[in-house]
Amino acid sequence: MLRLGSREFGPHEPVVMAIVNRTPDSFYDQGATFLDEPALARVEQAVAQGADIIDIGGVKAGPGEEVTAEEEARRVVPFVAEVRHRHPDVVISVDTWRHEVGAAACEAGADLLNDAWGGVDPKLAEVAAHYKRGLVCTHAGGAQPRTRPHRTTYEDVMADILRVTLGLAERAAALGVPRESILIDPGHDFGKNTRHSLEATRRLTEMTETGWPVLVSLSNKDFVGETLDKPVKERLLGTLATTAISAWLGAQVYRVHEVTETREILDMVTAIAGHRPPTVARRGLA
């Protein structure tokens, strides 16, 4: 059972995490939700489309202008408070590697800290433990925040993913983060080239069989773009194909830009797997 905020999710229940970037330079939307009004509209839309989690980030993953912890908090924390006020039951996640931002976000109502940079600030897990909030434990290959991989090599990429994410998850649990609120993430594109991310997807069952719920952040990423030679705005089909494979292999949480399309893919895969009935059943019954 996965517990996040006031929500509980069964082991075969797919969970959609909608991305809301409070940045002026996001690789995908180029700042479309930097201002409060469009960002709140994005939240309303995502919830209406079936998102279970809203993931709020104040710093883009790639290189760019420096964003201090104070500026990141200014972009994120009041927005978390407003989303919590408007949507008391939605799970709110904050995408940050900084413990100062994580603590302020928890005070404002965040339920989950999405540490995409693999524990580079070990105090972030301590914050999650202190507030009894969830934590995403991600493999980033030892990369520093906001850097791109350069000639990264692994003897066995999945072995390294397991070593890092399981170590982070067990440390978090030992600190006091509720075990049922800890997720592991292979970290597609983070500290990896395209072949690494494809292999991580292909071998995802090695993560799902550990018993920890697995989060995948696949949406419109470079490994999809390079695999198909597609620019950012033409990666939806590749993303959805990867989503379907990941669902079949047992991933549970999906961090996405396109909520409606992802939900439909997940509902179909879950039905094929026998974990949900068809929405309607008329054929051959009349």
Position 28 scores a pLDDT of: 80
Q: How do the domains of the chain map onto residue ranges?
A: 2-272
The superfamily (CATH) of domain 2-272 is Dihydropteroate synthase-like (3.20.20.20)
Query: Of 60, 133, 221, 235, which one is the catalytic site residue?
Result: 221
3-state secondary structure at position 135: strand
Task: Please identify every stretch of the chain with a pLDDT value under 70, giving residue numbers as ranges.
Answer: none
Position 286 scores a pLDDT of: 73
Contact 168, 119 (CB under 8 A): yes
> Beta-strand (E) ranges in 22-171?
53-57, 91-95, 112-115, 134-138
221 catalytic? Reply is yes
123 catalytic? Reply is no
Position 225 scores a pLDDT of: 98
Position 123 scores a pLDDT of: 98
Which residues 6+ apart lie within 8 Å of 106 measured at CB? 113, 127, 128, 131, 133
Contact 27, 19 (CB under 8 A): no
Query: Of 255, 276, 282, 283, which one is the catalytic site residue?
Result: 255
Question: pTM for the full model?
Answer: 0.96
**Residues in the chain, overall count:** 286
